[in-house]
Homo-oligomer: A and B are copies of this chain.
């Protein structure tokens, strides 16, 4: 005898009552409930997930989809871990569990998603690495699967998403650099179709235009969003006839490689070129410390969770005013990598 039957037999009551007691139904005597909970604790009973979700059509699981393989991840692993922590802080209140759905680098993400959905694996999904054209979004929307994406796409009109405020980052950084006399500013973007590249570069272009400047094509650098990519960008940048005096790095992990690429040519950030990037745990430990844009990833995770839950009938009453389409602001952390003026008047050592 196993499962709830064992518990019922042990208490000499029916399985229906046991189930009601455990699920907090009102129509059960409080004394009985106490006994049931006690016995469940003692016998280590936990409801079988398959049985429960088969009956209820619900799993209490939310999936965070991500692709394995190392080549294309521009985020550090602390990035996701921090986001997860925020997500779980919300989910814990509703007894939801978060699992990371790992799509192999050899499988198409849409195929993988199809499998996950058809199996009835999760009650809701969080998608990351949103592409500019992302078929996953239409797929989920058509089927009424609750989801939220981290990152915008062109095909998610009216769908819930949250994103980092790359426009704000571009605007602030460009304004700041221009105010310090920079006229030729290099910008980076991922090599692939990630939407953030388009968003970021477009806004850089607009921000420059507002100052009467144009963003030349040769100053837009594409690379894999990792250390090697940053290194390559530095090398290419230094080859230019008319070198930029500043660089704006949109990805987290490329700064180290970028620094090294500069360093090998004797070019020092903050003295010979202004560099502004994205925060990551090592940003302060570069020489010189990187001036960068940071955000609270935990808060982002909390917002993601709330946004998702606000689209699910079961939970939406708790989150009446969750954000559905919003960019998450980033804060500028002053390091020493952008501290100089083009007119020769260094603002700091």
Is there an interface contact between B69 and A59, defined as CB atoms closer than 8 Å?
no
Q: A49, A59, A68, A79: which has the most chain B beta carbons within 10 Å?
A: A68
Is there an interface contact between A102 and B118, defined as CB atoms closer than 8 Å?
no
Verify if A28 is at the interface (C-beta below 8 Å from B).
no
- Bound-state Cα–Cα, A44 to B260, Å: 50
Q: Which of B46, B54, B85, B230 contacts A105 (CB 8 A)?
A: B85
Known A118-B44, A119-B48, A285-B231: A85·B99 in contact at CB below 8 Å: no
Is there an interface contact between A99 and B98, defined as CB atoms closer than 8 Å?
no
- Bound-state Cα–Cα, A253 to B283, Å: 12
Question: How far is the CB of A6 from the nearest CB of chain B, in Å?
Answer: 13
**Nearest B residue to A75, CB-CB:** B77
Q: Which of B82, B256, B263 contacts A282 (CB 8 A)?
A: B256
Is there an interface contact between B69 and A81, defined as CB atoms closer than 8 Å?
yes
Contacts of A102 in B (CB 8 A): 64, 84, 88, 98-100
A residues 39-61 near B (Cβ < 8 Å) are 44-51, 53-54, 59
Question: How far is the CB of A275 from the nearest CB of chain B, in Å?
Answer: 14
Question: How far is the CB of A291 from the nearest CB of chain B, in Å?
Answer: 16
- Bound-state Cα–Cα, A120 to B73, Å: 32
Residue positions of A touching B, CB distance < 8 A: 44-51, 53-54, 59, 63-64, 68-70, 73, 75-82, 84-85, 88-89, 92, 98-102, 104-107, 114-115, 118-121, 226-228, 230-231, 253, 256-257, 259-260, 263, 281-282, 284-287
Q: Which 6 residue pairs are nearest across A and B when measured between Cβ atoms?
A: A46-B118, A100-B100, A77-B77, A49-B119, A68-B84, A76-B77
